[in-house]
Chains A and B, each alone.
Chain A
Amino acid sequence: MLFLAWSFTQIVCAQEPINPNWDAQKIKGVRQFPYPPYEGTPFLTDTWRPGKIEFTTGEVADSVYLKYSSFKDEVVYYNKAAGAQINIDKESLNGFAFADTDGRNRLFRKQRFDNSSKGERYFEILSDGQTALLAYRKVELNVTSAYHDLNGILKNMAYNRLYQFYFYSPEKGYTSVRVSQSGLLSKFDSPLQRPIKKLIRKSKIKIDSEDSFIQAWKIVEKAGYQVVF
């Protein structure tokens, strides 16, 4: 939770001048081998983003340039001294955060997911509270119709974004939600759906994107409505 309290205004902090050894040595990982090049991207961001990582020990390493691989659900950092891209061991992290190109601060937390494909996943925290709104930024490599890539090589696979959204409560677990007004309303008891709809309308929110969905959820949550898991 401390992680959430980070001040993103200082996302690229200066390391202690006395000993850069101390921060750098904490990151454990394995060299990342390039993913096969297909249409689309396996990463959430195209460029290296300045960010922070929080270890399971509670320690934080900042001034790290990161990329999140949505394809493998891995965090990759660039180690300048080694000249290598390194997949940070998932076991060693609690989560990470980075500043996106549009200035958005994006926060990811490692959580156990016991629905389909059980294991630890990095979820983006879109809204945190008693019930959190999470996004699993999944990218899959699927077969597509044949195409020629930039080098003229014939290929039939592409990276496709298949983002999944969940409401999460530590006590009740996960429930998936579609990013639409009907998707949001379906997460509440039938008698409550009408007043919620009215509340959204009154707030002049039209749910047509991820951002407007988050905005609507925050208003609904603030009004005290409880998601049914």
Chain B
Amino acid sequence: MLQKIIFILLVVTTISGNAQDKTNLGFFTDRDVYVSGEILLAKIYSPTDNPSRIVYIDLVNSSGTRISGATIEIKNNEASGFLQLPDSLSTGTYLLRAYSKNTVSKLKIIREIWISNRFDGLKNTKQLKHIAGSQTIQEESTPQIKFEGVDASHPTNSNVTTTIKIDEMLLKEIDGNLLISVAQTNPSFESASYIWTSDQGKEGLTEKKGIILSGIVTDKKKSMPAAGATVYLTIPDSLPVFQYYQTQDDGRFYFQLDKYYGSVQAFVQCFGKTTAQRLKINMDELFAEPGNLPDFSQQPISDEFKSNNATNIDAVTFQKVFSQDKLKFQPSPKETFESYPYYGKPSNIVDPHLFIDLPNFTEISRELLPGVKFRNYNNEPTMQVMNAAARDYFNESPLILIDGIPIRNLNVIKDMGTQDIKRIEICQSERYYGNLRFPGVVAIYTTKSDYSRIPDSDQFIRLKLDAIQAQANLAEPEKSEPDIPDLRQTFYWNPSVEPQEMLSAKFSTSSILGKFKLVVRGRLKNGTMVLAEKQFEVK
């Protein structure tokens, strides 16, 4: 009996000991060595207990400056995306960081990569920097994944079909999708992923549905957070998207962007309780602070590394010259958007340019806009809209929009003539949007649609947001122009392969010579990251 108990205890201890070693996360890129101006492909295995829908990846140089980043959607605890490496990057080791805002202070996954400047190469570089003494995410090499069809060497520009056989036992243990990649490998600079927990920083909200934009409104007179201010977020579109937030004592505001993909233009405005209140908006950084960095060790640069680097710089320059795209973008998922603007279905739509030429808005309102009273006595313009249900004018100024952006300063529109206006929409009713009341609405859409008429101030911020990254696949090599050499360094990249006993991957080698690696990566249900790889040479 005692023996049995000891045996059970031993088994339990072994299992729990193993469980602590399992990382449950991973961060992989198509290669470890890049040239500035290239696109990097990434796959992240996010912690299975993280409810966030968003993972950020960003690029930080070895002195701690954040350079660029991307916002990637997590689906089934996995995310895949890309990062454009700026052309101006100087040669050296860089860190890629992956994190979700809600766990940013506790956990980041970092991966070191090498980037050579396309113009300078290794001219001023004598040593390679490598992360030293950090917690590496261990990957278990598995013999249960076997490859067929990949030889020790393949000729340039040849087609290869590989069959990947996964053992039935392993198949049952795999959690989620596999990553299969075939790309150039550089034995002089082989990277790994690390868990980085030593950063200090403030944790953000859990982005369960989408990106959360946040910031603070301060009262300029009191230099204190402004309570009770109303903050508007407008995303101009065919139907402008609008959100608002009424600040509490801490002056903070939050907006959720869950339906936007790619680059988005947005406008954030704040208005006080009274027009006399002078406010200032400050937006929080979308990406985490660079924080402190791991230690690096130095290594001499090998001749092989130098030679590969020179070839890659030529290849990338050639691809740039011939505009060879690495990625093929997929259409963004179609979300159900509203069928009419947030300010309501207009009761009247007027196209002023169809009528006689009128020099200013006073004339336009008088001649063309039924139920809109615009007066400009003593250079103090006022506007009122008819309340159709009450058959009287509202006493207050209506909601006035220029190209979807709310304005309160009527001087902005007083000089607008028929040539400046494409369309005016009018709502002659007391509209509500949540707790906001609009005593009538006048929405002016300008011919230029460039938002240049809206005056800049501390209460108005124009943003160019990187919303959720659009999905993209690795582009196939261009076969229509056989005279242009194919200089791809990544032959195959599929981050979402459903595990099956037999898988097939077809790729073609390019004109680049050197060592390449076919890698299959996955996560097991117990959190272990597994990989199987096969190296071959393109001759």
From A57, A58, A82, A89, contact of B437 by CB (8 A): A82
Q: Does A24 contact B (CB under 8 A)?
A: yes
Q: Given A56-B338, A57-B338, A92-B338, A25 and B435 touching (CB < 8 A)? A: yes
| B432: A residues at CB distance < 8 A | 27-31, 79, 82, 84, 86
Closest B residue to A26 by CB, please name it. Answer: B434
Which residues of B from 208 to 264 have beta carbons under 8 Å from A?
243-246, 254, 256
Q: Is B431's CB under 8 angstroms from A30's CB?
A: yes
Please provide the chain A residues from 1 to 45 with a CB less than 8 Å away from any CB of chain B in the complex. Answer: 18-19, 21-22, 24-31, 33
**CA A187 to CA B167, docked complex, whole Å:** 59
Nearest Cβ on chain B to A60's Cβ, whole angstroms: 13
- Enumerate chain B residues within 8 angstroms of A31, measured Cβ to Cβ: 389, 429-430, 432
B435 touches A56 (CB 8 A): no
- Is the C-beta of A189 less than 8 angstroms from some C-beta in chain B? no
Question: A110-145 interface mask toward B, CB cutoff 8 Å, 1 = contact, 0 = none?
Answer: 000000000000000000000000000000000000
A228 at the interface (CB under 8 A from B): no
- Cβ-defined contact, B338 with A25, below 8 A: no
Are A25 and B430 in contact (CB-based, < 8 A)?
no
B339 at the binding interface (Cβ < 8 Å):
yes
Interface flags for B329-365 (1: CB within 8 Å of A; 0: not) read 0000001111110101100000000000000000000
Q: Which of B190-212 contact A (CB under 8 A)?
A: 205
Query: What interface size band does chain B fall in?
Result: 20 to 34
1/0 contact string of B301-336 vs chain A (CB within 8 Å): 000000000000000000000000000000000011
A interface bracket (residues with beta carbon within 8 Å of B): 20 to 34
User: Which residue among B335, B432, B435 has the maximum number of chain A CB atoms within 10 Å of its CB?
Assistant: B432
Counting CB contacts under 8 A, is B433 at the interface?
A: yes
Residues in A with CB closer than 8 Å to B431 are: 28-30
Are B338 and A24 in touch, CB under 8 angstroms?
A: no
* B401 shortest CB reach to chain A, Å: 15
Q: Judging by beta carbons under 8 Å apart, are A57 and B246 in contact?
A: no
Tell me which residues across on chain A come within 8 A of B344, comparing CB atoms: 28, 30, 89
Flag if A28 contacts B433 (CB, 8 Å).
yes
> Given A25-B243, A30-B429, are A81 and B336 neighbors across the interface (CB < 8 Å)?
no
A91 beta carbon closer than 8 Å to chain B: yes
Kindly identify which residue among A19, A56, A58, A82 contacts B254, using a CB–CB cutoff of 8 Å.
Answer: A19
CB contacts (< 8 Å) of B256 on chain A: these are 22
B430:A30 contact, CB within 8 angstroms: yes
Chain B residues closer than 8 Å to A81, beta-carbon distance: 435
> Which residues of A72-109 are within 8 A (CB) of B?
79, 81-82, 84, 86, 89, 91-92
- Chain A residues, Cβ within 8 Å of B435: 24-25, 79, 81-82
- Taken together as a complex, chains A and B put the C-alpha atoms of A29 and B430 apart, in Å, by 9
Chain A residue contacts of B244, Cβ below 8 A: 21, 25
B245 touches A21 (CB 8 A): yes
Query: A21: which B residues are within 8 A, CB to CB?
Result: 244-246, 254, 434
6 residue pairs, one from A and one from B, having the closest CB atoms: A25-B434, A31-B430, A81-B435, A24-B434, A30-B429, A21-B245
Question: Can you list 26 A-B pairs, Cβ within 8 angstroms, ordered by A?
Answer: A19-B245, A21-B244, A24-B435, A25-B244, A28-B342, A28-B431, A29-B431, A30-B344, A30-B429, A30-B430, A30-B431, A31-B429, A31-B432, A56-B336, A57-B336, A58-B336, A79-B432, A79-B434, A79-B435, A81-B435, A82-B432, A82-B437, A89-B340, A91-B339, A91-B340, A91-B345
Known pairs A28-B433, A30-B430, A31-B432. 8 more at Cβ < 8 A? A21-B246, A21-B254, A25-B433, A28-B344, A30-B429, A79-B432, A86-B432, A91-B339
- Residues of chain A touching chain B, judged by Cβ–Cβ distance below 8 Å, are 18-19, 21-22, 24-31, 33, 56-58, 79, 81-82, 84, 86, 89, 91-92
